[in-house]
A and B are shown apart, each in its own frame.
Chain A
Amino acid sequence: MNEISLFGIFLSAMIVNNIVLIRFIGLCPFFGVSGRMESAIGMGMAVIFVMTVSSAVTWVIYNYLLVPMGLEFLKIVTFILVIASLVQLEELFMKKYIPNLYKSLGIYLPLITTNCAILAASFLHVDYSFSFIQALVYAIGVSLGFIVVIILFAGIRERLDTAPVPKALAGYPIAFFTAALMSLAFLGFKGLFGL
Chain B
Amino acid sequence: MNRLKTLTNGLIRENPVLVLMIGLCPLLAVSNNAINALGMGIAATFVLICSNVVISLIRGVIPDQIRIPVFIVVISTFVTIIDLMMASYLPPLHKSLGIFVPLIVVNCIILGRGEAFAYRNRVFDALLDGIGMGVGFTLVIVLIGIIREVSGNGTIFGSARFIAHPAMIMILPPGAFITIGSLMGILNWTRNRQSEKDMIKKEEKE
**Bound Cα distance from A24 to B28, whole angstroms:** 7
Q: For the complex, is B103 an interface residue (Cβ under 8 Å from A)?
A: yes
Q: Which residues, 1 to 58 on B, are CB-close (under 8 Å) to A?
A: 21-22, 24-25, 28-29
Is B178 touching A120 in the complex (CB atoms < 8 A)? Answer: no
Is B103 touching A116 in the complex (CB atoms < 8 A)? Answer: yes
Point out the residue from A114, A169, A173 that lies within 8 Å of B106, measured CB to CB.
Answer: A114
**Which residues of B sit under 8 angstroms from A60, Cβ to Cβ?**
none
Q: Which residues, 159 to 176 on A, are CB-close (under 8 Å) to B?
A: 167-176
Is A180 touching B73 in the complex (CB atoms < 8 A)? Answer: no
By a beta-carbon cutoff of 8 Å, the part of chain A in contact with chain B is 21-28, 31, 73-77, 80-81, 84, 114-116, 119-120, 123-124, 127, 167-177, 179-181, 183-184, 187
**Which residues of B sit under 8 angstroms from A28, Cβ to Cβ?**
22, 24-25, 108
**Which residues of B sit under 8 angstroms from A123, Cβ to Cβ?**
99, 102-103
Secondary structure of the B contact surface, majority rule: helix
**Which residues of A sit under 8 angstroms from B76, Cβ to Cβ?**
76-77, 80-81
Of chain A, the residue at the smallest CB distance from B21 is: A172
Point out the residue from B25, B80, B178 that lies within 8 Å of A24, measured CB to CB.
Answer: B25
**Which residues of A sit under 8 angstroms from B140, Cβ to Cβ?**
none
Q: Chain B: interface residue count, which band?
A: 35 or more
**Bound Cα distance from A2 to B111, whole angstroms:** 37
**Which residues of B sit under 8 angstroms from A170, Cβ to Cβ?**
188
Point out the residue from A26, A75, A180 that lies within 8 Å of B25, measured CB to CB.
Answer: A26
Q: For the complex, is B69 an interface residue (Cβ under 8 Å from A)?
A: yes
Q: Nearest Cβ in chain B — how far from A117, in angstroms?
A: 9
Q: Nearest Cβ in chain B — how far from A124, in angstroms?
A: 6
**Bound Cα distance from A73 to B82, whole angstroms:** 12
Is A183 touching B103 in the complex (CB atoms < 8 A)? Answer: no
Is A31 touching B24 in the complex (CB atoms < 8 A)? Answer: yes
Is A25 touching B178 in the complex (CB atoms < 8 A)? Answer: no
Q: Nearest Cβ in chain A — how far from B108, in angstroms?
A: 6
Q: Nearest Cβ in chain A — how far from B183, in angstroms?
A: 8
By a beta-carbon cutoff of 8 Å, the part of chain B in contact with chain A is 21-22, 24-25, 28-29, 69, 72-73, 76-77, 79-80, 83-84, 98-99, 102-103, 105-108, 111, 169, 172-178, 180-182, 184-186, 188-189, 192
Is B72 touching A80 in the complex (CB atoms < 8 A)? Answer: yes
**Which residues of B sit under 8 angstroms from A169, Cβ to Cβ?**
181, 185, 188
**Which residues of A sit under 8 angstroms from B108, Cβ to Cβ?**
28, 114
Is B178 touching A176 in the complex (CB atoms < 8 A)? Answer: yes
Can you list 14 contacts pairing A with B, beta carbon distance less than 8 Å? A24-B29, A25-B99, A76-B102, A119-B105, A120-B99, A123-B99, A123-B103, A168-B188, A169-B181, A173-B181, A173-B188, A176-B177, A179-B177, A180-B176
**Which residues of B sit under 8 angstroms from A76, Cβ to Cβ?**
76, 79-80, 83, 102, 105
Which of A123, A169, A176 has its CB near the most chain B CB atoms (within 10 A)?
A176
Is A187 touching B28 in the complex (CB atoms < 8 A)? Answer: no
Is A77 touching B73 in the complex (CB atoms < 8 A)? Answer: yes
Is A23 touching B29 in the complex (CB atoms < 8 A)? Answer: yes
Query: Given A27-B25, A27-B28, A31-B24, A177 and B181 touching (CB < 8 A)?
Result: yes
Is B106 touching A181 in the complex (CB atoms < 8 A)? Answer: no
Of chain B, the residue at the smallest CB distance from A170 is: B188
**Which residues of A sit under 8 angstroms from B173, Cβ to Cβ?**
21-22, 24, 183, 187
Q: Nearest Cβ in chain B — how far from A78, in angstroms?
A: 9
**Bound Cα distance from A107 to B108, whole angstroms:** 19
Point out the residue from B99, B105, B192 that lies within 8 Å of A80, measured CB to CB.
Answer: B105
